[in-house]
Chain A
């Protein structure tokens, strides 16, 4: 079983709809992240959370919100989807115990979102 899972894996929706992308992890990590990836733009950080009570904006948080329901779950919402939010979305986790040096991030398989 995958350590970091994302649902759905693919989603097509229409402009103005509310969408939620979900991420779950069994790694026991405290830190979780949401990124989007667009061709030519690389990975861009949307939001991150270092524990259940901690939520931080990344470089492109406008139009998105998140919820950290539990240590193992971190959801990303698009309140009113627009076409330029069409992208590949990745969730990732890391462990604070390695944050000082290694800080390896483990990514989920991604969600391909298309907004028409």
Chain B
């Protein structure tokens, strides 16, 4: 089993739709969690951190369920500019590198 698993998609949604991505992680000792965004042929960039209490940034909401080892990202009112690959990322803590999921590709269609 991969340490971080995501549905690869692609998710093809119309503008204005709400779309949700899920991610599961296998290491129960993981300490912190993130969503990164990667545009086609560009470098990944941090989108938002994910906290146990859930957090929201404009149209984006991230949630963490430690008991189920599950992370989600909800995008409301999708825009064409949201088209990208979304990477689920886990920090195991200590002196270890981040673990990246393979990403979920989103295409928002006019």
Contacts and interface: CB of A to CB of B under 8 A. Distances in A.
Contacts of B41: 88, 110
A110 B38 CA distance: 12
B43 A101 contact: no
Interface stretch (A37-45, A65-73, A75-83): A37-45
Interface in B68-110: 87, 91, 93, 95, 97-98, 100-103
A42 B45 contact: no
A64 interface: no
Contact of B101 (A42, A50, A88): A42
Interface string B11-37: 000000000000000000001101000
Nearest to B45: A107
- Main SS at interface, chain A: loop
A101 B31 contact: yes
A99 B32 CA distance: 10
A58 interface: yes
Contact of A45 (B43, B91, B95, B97): B97
A33 B43 CA distance: 13
A1 to B, nearest CB: 16
A42 B32 contact: no
Contacts of A62: none
Max chain A CB contacts within 10 Å: which of B31, B49, B91? B91
A107 B32 contact: no
Contacts of B95: 50, 99
B102 A42 contact: yes
Nearest to B91: A103
Contacts of A50: 95
20 contacts: A40-B102, A41-B102, A42-B103, A45-B97, A50-B95, A88-B41, A90-B43, A90-B44, A100-B93, A101-B31, A101-B91, A102-B32, A103-B91, A105-B44, A105-B46, A107-B43, A107-B45, A109-B42, A109-B43, A110-B43
Q: Report, nearest first, the 5 A-B pairs whose CB atoms are least far apart.
A: A42-B102, A107-B43, A43-B100, A103-B91, A104-B46
